[in-house]
Chain A
Amino acid sequence: MNRVRTPLVLVAAAALFSLLVWGLGDLPGVGEYAGPYGDVIIRAARNERHVLNAVAAVNFDYRGFDTLGEEFIFFASVIGVALLLRDENEDQRASTRRLLPRSTNDPRRWMPAEPVSLVSLPAVGALLVFGGYIVLQGHLSPGGGFQGGIVISAVALLVALSGGAAALYRTLPLAVLEFVEALGIGSYLAIGFCGVAAGRPYLTNVLPLGETGNLLSSGTIWAINFGVGVAVAAGFMLLTIEFVEPLHRARYRRHQ
């Protein structure tokens, strides 16, 4: 089987690579940018939308509908992970709660090495501030809701590392994260309807544009950007918890 498959794959890969070289070789060289669309956006975005980050203007305004679809792909993936992992997680979560150690000298208590706590606990505050900064400045500087949301969601990993499942239940309850995630994505949908309410197409930028360079400028772009940051932070925290929690549960059971 293997003796047939590997040469077959190699031949097919070589054929595909020559096809790609032949096809890509006819494109304009890298650096000789000719396409009109980027230039049109770069010329228009600052005056039309009062943003400083043209990528944010494309993501949350000119291609806002595509990003809405992207948000729902992300939402569907979080739901899928929860469905696949949670049927068992949900049954066993209640029993895990009963297992959670109460006293500090319980051998099942999650006790990370001291250097781990020393680094990860202060890093929680730093990550929250840095992630919040990246989310809020999305329309002014490189960054935005997706990037800042990921930075904030790393907090869940640090909490699991320094406190185990008990700390996750206490500081980041799943019900709250689910609600925040839904709120973030729902705000994107709702902001789209602002345009409809003003008698314009869905997702039209109808909020006041403000003064270019201010924190509250660029109309719906900063609002959608903020909602996306909230949704991505909560969604990736949910993903982290669904994957990390079973490891801790296995640990409690070993000590039973």
Chain B
Amino acid sequence: MAPPDDLVQDATLPARGSSSAEPAQPARLVSRYDSIRLSHGSGGKLTLELIEDLFVSVFSNEPLRELTDAAIVANHGGRIAFATDSHTVKPAFFPGGDIGRLAVAGTINDLAVMGAKPAYLTAAFLLEEGYDMAELERVVRSMKATADEAGVAIVAGDTKVLERGHGDGVFINTTGIGFLSDDVRLGVSYVRPGDKVLVNGTLGDHGIAVMSRREGLELGAELDSDVAPLNGLIEQVMLVAPNVRFMRDVTRGGLAAVANEVVLRQPFGLRVFDVAVPIHELVEQYSEMLGIDPLLAANEGKLLLIVAADEAEAALGAMKAHPLGREAAIIGDIVRKPEGVALVETAYGTRRVLEMPIEEQLPRIC
């Protein structure tokens, strides 16, 4: 996607692909220090150096370059969608992504599922004293690559440094603004029995990828997180399926959490067909091994979409035509009864409740 045209790209930076895979390491931008010092957050000379050499240089756009107290940006018209999200992930680099890509994609997805076109982000960094400068640079470059992929600019920011032992390397908050036209009407209140439920691909990839890395599991094959900005895909779907009723990005708590949020106190239920849910083969294996339900595992590049039945195939086609939706599927429907319940229908025709996740998914013991 093209970035908003009021933002000038800095041509001095090497072009980046959409993947956060390790690019050839360019010379370090902040060369004087190998790691973060308290002074990098003190507002003095080191802070300025960090901002100019790293953030302004990489994020590279006019509003940011001005170094004003607030970024002044163009208004694209319509209503404004406004979202914020803070990010911490262990490990900070995981198969298929890193905390930088996560922080940018997360806020973009929150805006996009509201039907908005994400345009601007701010980024606030909480860095732990001693945090590796080269790693920070990788995180920042990954944020830039992800923002470019989504056509979004990171126009303002903040840096604070926490004393050693009082942080966990790096925390990132991103806040975003998107614009949505006045005729966009999305929400649970538009959902009707008979509507179809779609997802744009395999579920649980992120949760299981991160957990397998954290637990040091090796199955001889690498599973990648699905972390990605979904605004491009959503835009394509909305073009062909104007009667999309509701969208939500499926993140922590997995499909189970979103399905339950949809039916909460509503006069309808949501039915998921077990066999229709796309699950990556490795996710299936890992989750069997760990005793984890992939329907409860986290995602960072998936959305649940509810659409009028007669537009379901069109929406599915648009998803499948997009790189982030190749394994999209219609996984269920909205039913009249039972009311207020999300349920799973198994391959055997039996049914169970799809309960709201209670706690973080941890490997079972026995």
Q: Do A and B come from one complex?
A: no
A residues sitting closer than 8 Å to B (CB atoms) are: none
Which B residues have a C-beta under 8 Å from some C-beta of A? Answer: none
